[in-house]
Amino acid sequence: MSQGDKMERGQESITMIPRGDVREEGKKLPQYIAAITATLGAVAIGTVLGWSSSASPFLKGEITNVTSTIDPPLSVDESARVESFVAIGAIMGALPAGYFADLLGRKTLIAALTLPFLLSWIMILLAKVAWLLYVARILAGIATGATCTVVPMYISEIAELSIRGTLGAYFQLMITLGIFYAYVYGYLVRFAVLNILCALIPIAGFFMFMFVPESPKYLLMRQKKQSAEKSLRWLRGNKYNIKQEIETLQNEIAKSSRTKVSFKDLVATKVAFKSVNIALGLMVFQQLSGVNAVIFNMNAIFMASGSTIEPAICSIIIGAIQVIVTFFSSILIDKAGRKILLLISLGVSTLSLGVLGYYFHLKNSGEDVSGIGFIPLICLILFIVVFSLGLGPIPWMMSGEILAAEIKGLASSLATALNWTLTFVVTRSYAPMEKTLGTDVTFWLFACICAIGFVFVVLIVPETKGKTVDQVQQLLAGKKPARKNGLV
């Protein structure tokens, strides 16, 4: 134990609670500031994802008035690797992220992830051969996968119950903002400038994150009670009585520290098995909806559709709508509830992808679709809107809400790894599926998966709005949750 730790433990007995007017709930603004600052890492993820659609024409030599640094230009297969290798890196980054978050701290790990993000953009900027792009994208993927694990963890540990859903949804909101950023600047600036602008995001995040505190829960795990109290006062305000929340966190930590978790513990009880199935199932339907195949290939889909609107402009329009809808989703999540938004998302996704498939079926059959060239834009806007409303943010949030404390670290890493494994499968197989099955059947397949997801949510997924983790566990066990005040 370090000398600092000893001093803090020795001072625990003299920690005072302020007298006078205290609040049952803390100030919200500091929590919003901490969450927004932490999710700048999600903006960095968005630029990594949105970059593919903007950069692909440059890398494949399709823009003739701009000289690419890659010589010769990438083939279709090489371009697909550049897109999908992010997912391989994300799997590599997700699996150990929970361990390193406990070893180094949430704040330290989030700050450290600036380095792989930054290095990947420097390598892309300097790359003259395809293999260097592959390495850069895997490196970006490692940072992406780790960020997807540790940032939602940090937010869930700093947020009060009343705004947990809203702050949790900011992660997906900031991803959409990063995608939009990459779409806009991919259209406005040269390839080299696009890479530089993307590199600025993690740098800005690093310096801004220095001013927010470490997770109070992590500090208590490290026996730093005085630092945890200081962090909680920063997050909740000086008039908030932190005693009850500190005690709740200490009880959670004591409970989880008594249990050494292995993979068999994820299925050891009915409740654990059900919660893990829900967390993994939502990730499956999120990715098998085909969303990343759409995002990575937005321009190509519009070009194939024969739409009269410029593909890059269509991508920017959809990117802007995605940001706006995800913002409103972050407000609705704590008002309407998680389950109803998931059902709307999956139901409308089924319809929009089905109609899009039918449009390509008509086009491929030789029908004149010039009079309905707006259909692909409408369908993709509708798909992205409802995805951003529910299927985008809620699976990440519910992983934190539905998993018990003792299995949360392992199960969250597993869910993130599964998410990115499926991202790789979908993005890598999209072009072969389109070539073998046809664009129409490919989108119909995505529509069928969304329909199955709708049934999954109806039958298995509980409503977690306004419930603590303990209350959710009681719900999964088939018991009526006891009403209690307090925090997660």
Convert the pLDDT of each residue in 283-294 to its tens digit: 999 999 988 777
**Can you give the pLDDT at residue 304?**
66
Mean pLDDT, rounded, of the chain: 83
pLDDT band of residue 444 (cuts 50, 70, 90) is: very high
Please report, for residues 30, 64, 285, 433, the alpha-carbon distance to residue 234 in angstroms, rounded to integers and kept in the order given. Answer: 7, 54, 38, 52
Mean pLDDT of 97-106: 88
CATH number attached to the domain at 263-480: 1.20.1250.20
Percent share of the chain, pLDDT over 90: 34
**pLDDT > 60? residue 4:** no
pLDDT of 67 above 60: no
Lowest mean pLDDT among 82-96, 380-394, 400-414: 400-414
Residue 71 pLDDT > 90: no
Average pLDDT over residues 135-145: 95
Query: What integer pLDDT is reported at residue 205 of this predicted model?
Result: 94
Q: Which residue has the higher pLDDT, 309 or 486?
A: 309
Predicted confidence (pLDDT) at residue 295 exceeds the cutoff of 80:
no
What is the share, in percent, of the chain residues with pLDDT greater than 70? 85
Determine the Cα–Cα distance for residues 11 and 115; give it in Å rounded to an integer.
Answer: 36
* Average pLDDT estimate for 30-35: 94
Q: pLDDT class for 258, splitting at 50, 70, 90?
A: low
pLDDT at 130 over 70: yes
Q: Cα-flanking dihedrals φ and ψ of residue 240, to 5°? A: -90, 135
157-161, 294-298, 468-472, 475-479: the lowest-pLDDT one: 294-298
Average the pLDDT over each of 121-135, 228-242, 465-479 and give the range with the smallest value: 465-479
Per-residue pLDDT tens digits for 83-93: 888 989 999 99
Give CA–CA dist 124/152, Å, rounded: 28
**Does domain 27-212 bear CATH number 3.30.160.40?**
no
Domain with CATH 1.20.1250.20 in the chain: 27-212, 263-480
Which residue is it, tokens 């994208």?
Answer: 137
Q: What is the pLDDT of residue 7?
A: 44
Q: How confident is the model at residue 488 (pLDDT cuts 50, 70, 90)?
A: very low
Q: Residue 8: pLDDT above 50?
A: no
**pLDDT for 144:** 95
Q: Judge whether residue 153 has pLDDT over 60.
A: yes
Q: Which residue has the higher pLDDT, 21 or 153?
A: 153
Most confident of 169-173, 193-197, 372-376, 379-383: 193-197
Report how far residue 246's alpha carbon sits from residue 252's, in angstroms, rounded to the nearest whole number: 10
Q: Specify the higher pLDDT residue, 233 or 318.
A: 233
Whether a cis peptide bond, with omega within 30° of 0, leads into 72 is yes
- Pick the closest to residue 111 from 138, 150, 145, 137 (CA basis): 150
Residues in the chain: 488
pLDDT confidence tier of residue 20, bands split at 50, 70 and 90: very low
Query: How high is the pLDDT of residue 296?
Result: 67
Residue 188 to residues 52, 183, 193, 317, 417: CA-CA distances in angstroms?
Answer: 15, 9, 10, 14, 34
